[in-house]
Amino acid sequence: MRRSFGIGAHCLIVAVLIFSYASARAQTTGSITGSAKDPSGSVIPDIAIICRNVDTAAQQNATTNVDGLYAFTALPVGHYEIETFRPGFKPYKRTGLTIDVGTKLQIDITLEMGEQSQQVTVSDTAVHVETADTQVGGVITSTDLTAVALNGRSVTDLLSLEPAVVPMSTQQPDSIVMAGVTVAIAPSGALNAGNQSISGQREDANGFMVNGGDVKELMNGGTSIVPNLDSIAEFRILTNNFDAEYGNYSGGIINVVTQSGTKVTGPCPTITTPDCLANILTKELDHTVSANEPYFFPACNSTDASSPTGCVFPGAVIPQSVWSEPAKHLLQYIPAPNSGESTFSSGSENKIVRDDKWSFRSDSNHARWGQLSAYYFFDDYTVNNPYPAAVGGASVPGFNALTFGRAQLISLGDTKTFGASSVNELRFSFMRNANDVGQPQGGVGPSLASQGFMTGVGSTGIVPLAPKIEGIENVRFNSFVMGVPITNLTQANNTYSGIDHFSRVIGDHTLIAGFQFSLEQVNVNPDATFNGSFLFTGSETGSDFADFLLGVPTNYNQASSNSYYPRHKYAAGFGQDSWRVKSNFTLNFGLRWELMQYWSEKYNQNPTFILGEQSKVYPTAPTSLVYVGDAGVPNTLVPQGHRFSPRLGLAYSPSVSHGILSKILGGPGKSSIRAGYGIFYSVIEGNTAAIDEPQPPYGLSYTSPAPPLFATPFVSAADGSVHVNPFPLNVPPYGASPANPITNIDFSSFLPQAGMTAPPPSNTYPYTENYFASIERQLSTNTLLSLSYVGSQAHHLLVVYSANPGNRALCLPLSDPTAVASGSPTCGPFGEDKTYKKASGNVIPGTRGPLGPNFANDDYDATIGNSNYNAFEATLRHSGREGSFLISYTFSKSIDQASSISDPVNPYNFRATRALSAWDLPHDLVASYVFKLPLDRVTKRATSLTDGWSISGITRISSGFPVTLSADGDNSLQGSIPNGVNNKSLDLPDIIPGPLNLSSQPQNNGLLYFNGSLFSDNGCTPGFKLSPCLLGTPGNASRRFFHGPGAFNTDLALAKDVHITESKALELRLETFNLFNHTQFFGPATVNGDVDNPLFGHVVSALAPRLIQLALKFKF
């Protein structure tokens, strides 16, 4: 369906284009503004100011206006000096000025009376209080980037040096396991994608730019491009209240700027510089079952079986004579214990990464065209992953998978000055990121039939839909996964973006206006669980492994899918004014317009639900299942929207120069008080498009309506009822519409429709309110202290909840055997889709509603979520000739209903799951430092042996992540598995009052971290103290209410520069990670919170032990 922008949007766009011919001002540049005055304080108009880049010799000219003000609004990152000449005054020169990404320096010039031969030279300080900029964030320079020890050499590993940035992602391999979807794709094969919460926002809400080009991988929310560290000039992180020129993201903005050429002269480009050329072959050693973490699970060679109502078999032993055929064949792939009596741990499998990357940048100054820049980045990698859990693969040896990827970025920019007070910046970029993720290798070959499964079209067994990757069946237990991957895919992202910004200085105002657009194309060819997958949670006997032996899985999932092609468009315009009200008071205010859209699909393969509506596109579809073209269903499923985002900030620098207050504030220009408020809309995460499509008749994600038989998964285990095996599908041609309906589709084989997720048409767009107040104080020439309060409230966040939940009020009366007719099942957990016959003879076709019995558990991804974040932040920054350091501390609390779409929400009470966010870290202290070692002073002689030594490192002391509690049952009687995203039940444990007894040394306590006896599966295991034990309750424990073990870690590097010639040197580095070899039980899944897991309450993973590596770098 074609959508128009609307009259109001057209008017704003026209106004913006008249005022601007629109690129990324503070996206790749900074500014210097100020005034020129004589010794009496009178302004000096019409005086020429020259700003020169000391690295490239490029210069810009400006002239003060009638108010004595000047401005250089678009200066590339680098080192600068400014100078001015005026008859009757001494020449003035200011040196040592550093422009970082988005820097807003305010340099006021006071000219002295005197001769032209008597030059006044002022050296600038290394750090400044912010007297004009009202954005919150910081800059990491190239010196810090290349000096500190980084295991993986990824710039994204340094994001958490700034306050309010959580050090890692909380998403787990099982967070998203549905058809054709994967968790974040690691750039360069193994680097950190940057999916980290910033200022309490979701991990996919961050924006990533390289040289002003958009490099965000919108399906999963991380970056696609990570330049080599040595090619980066610096990067800036904005964490709160960024200016109106930024939008589409409500988390943080990460802007990387690479090194430019060393000199530019003449009317044409005279230098083009390759930034870097890197070839990396990495073999990760000491790898246990999960990358870089020891992972433990019970080795399943026991034959115990018990249930809440007692033992089923004599002596709690299952005789081999009743083992299912698939269990007999698959048992050999489950490792035997090798660490104690019931635990398996492995470090024998190695992850191998090959990564080749290079980039090229050209910069020039042209008299007619202005400053031209061009950047090209290329990255090609392969990964052999022995434990491909991120694509639904195994966590035991023998099932490795291969991943291939290639990322490219082209970014073109032009900065043109018009007169002395106007600058236009224009930038276009194209990014392509193509990945073949998790292609099975290990375990491929054995047929499903040879494993004891019935197979064949028309049978009640499995129809292998992807014969090329047919192999050991994917089986998921509470503690581990075996078999080939099920969510591997081929995915290609194309992102086109353009930005144009125009700035002009008028009196005391620096006005900026601009326009931005982006177009995202994603092409996905998924393995949509083509050959099936089984889940065992213990729903039959209480033991997942006993159910495996007996052949009664909790559910069976298989899917068939076309390739699908999500599309997304975005446009925005903004206007902003930085008003210098007084010399020490600046007011920044702006407004941003944004055209927001949900994702569409190129061929409209994405249906949704509208209660009671009959589709006209597919008239034979069940009522309430509707398609693009039906009434109220645009191609984006949710109507596009125009949103306006105000931004406001103020910066005040007290000018007190006498008295006690002057000593406290340091005098004029030595302190500042800043505050700000803004509204920020965020792009709809691309994974919602992936979990939404394709659906019948273009695809199908089948989930057994009741626990099936292992060998014949289309037969229910409880009553032997047979369900139609719908595979393979007969997919209709594209192009159906109300005018051209397709009427010959038999939807009965798709029913009950299960595992579908769709946004309701009533959805709106997520946004966040950000606000802060900050005090900065320059303690010395090179030392700056900042104290801030930062807060945010997010509204209309996407959460997943059932569109057709089970109704306990229907089920509970049917749970009494006397209430049902003879031969009818009684209602209980996982019985939402069964048919019941009352003793009176009335038939109840399941307990679900309001969609009814043609649908099983299907879900909405609806904008009904919210979150709240409050933090105190402190930073101490020092930059000197002998060394520098940054110390950041964050004291914060973050609360939400769901931290991502992988956290299901209770459809009957949206606030029931409100708890700590998955990334909540009450305390986080991190220090980064680089110091020269004064060995020449100690020895009192400078030699080649004592010169050139330095030490650098990162030390972190942090609280732990919250422990996420869960239950695998269905005591709530809602039937929340599957939810269209993963196999996580809505249910939570029950808890009784008592001490948690959190262990500070779990390694001395059998790895037990908390008192698990306080908790029970909400089915109320006999002997549990909670009373009464009520069927139909989802559990009384909060999803997250206490924290796991914290972190105390130091990574340290010792470096020595050996100069060969004046321009060439060797750098030798000794790097240690986890210097003190402290056991780091740190991470979002460190403690097992699944009450139905045998390892409940135990520590199950840790970060890597001490690692030492040597490196040699040639610098020229």
What does the alpha-carbon distance between residue 103 and residue 122 come to, in Å, rounded to a whole number?
Answer: 20
What is the average pLDDT score of the chain?
86
Per-residue tokens: 1104: 């890597």
Bond into 167 cis (ω within 30): no
Q: Which residue has the tokens 């899944």?
A: 1085
How far apart, in Å, are the Cα atoms of 622 and each of 603, 750, 751, 974?
21, 10, 9, 22
Q: Do the bridges between strand 533-535 and strand 474-476 make them parallel or antiparallel, or are there none, so unpaired?
A: parallel
DSSP assignment of 769-828 equals EEEEEEEEEEEETTEEEEEEEEEEEEEEEEEEEESS-B-HHHHHHHTSGGGB-TTPPPP-
Check residue 273 and give its pLDDT. 35
Burial of 44 (0-12, 13-18, 19+ CB in 10 A): middle
Residue 473 phi, psi (nearest 5): -60, 140
Q: Where in the chain is the domain with CATH 2.170.130?
A: 155-278
Amino acid at 819: A
Dihedral sign, Cα of residue 1093, residue 1097, residue 1098, residue 1101: positive
Q: Identify the segments of the chain with pLDDT beneath 50.
A: 1-26, 263-312, 1022-1028
Q: Where in the chain is the domain with CATH 2.60.40.1120?
A: 7-131
Check residue 12 and give its pLDDT. 39
What does the alpha-carbon distance between residue 664 and residue 680 come to, in Å, rounded to a whole number?
Answer: 36
What does the alpha-carbon distance between residue 862 and residue 1085 come to, in Å, rounded to a whole number?
Answer: 26
How far apart, in Å, are the Cα atoms of 561 and each of 211, 327, 457, 627, 690?
38, 28, 17, 17, 11
Q: Do the bridges between strand 757-758 and strand 859-879 make them parallel or antiparallel, or are there none, so unpaired?
A: parallel
What is the three-class DSSP state of 737? Answer: strand
What does the alpha-carbon distance between residue 317 and residue 302 come to, in Å, rounded to a whole number?
Answer: 9
Check residue 234 and give its pLDDT. 87
Amino acid at 563: S
313, 554 contact by CB (below 8 A): no
918, 886 contact by CB (below 8 A): no
Dihedral sign, Cα of residue 1024, residue 1028, residue 1034, residue 1039: negative
What does the alpha-carbon distance between residue 1053 and residue 953 come to, in Å, rounded to a whole number?
Answer: 6
Residue 916 phi, psi (nearest 5): -60, 145
Using the 8-state DSSP alphabet, how is residue 320 labeled?
Answer: G
Tell me, which fold does domain 155-278 have in CATH?
A: Ferric Hydroxamate Uptake Protein; Chain A, domain 1 (2.170.130)
What is the three-class DSSP state of 935? Answer: helix
User: H/E element holding 489?
Assistant: strand 489-506
Residue 872 phi, psi (nearest 5): -105, 130
What does the alpha-carbon distance between residue 806 and residue 981 come to, in Å, rounded to a whole number?
Answer: 18
How many other C-beta atoms lie within 10 A of the C-beta of residue 281? 9
Check residue 364 and give its pLDDT. 86
What does the alpha-carbon distance between residue 979 and residue 692 come to, in Å, rounded to a whole number?
Answer: 11
Per-residue tokens: 206: 């961050």
Check residue 305 and give its pLDDT. 32
How many other C-beta atoms lie within 10 A of the C-beta of residue 1095? 20
389, 481 contact by CB (below 8 A): yes
DSSP assignment of 620-644 equals TSPTTEE-BTBTT--TTSS--EEEE
**Which pTM does this prediction carry?**
0.86
CATH numeric code, 7-131: 2.60.40.1120
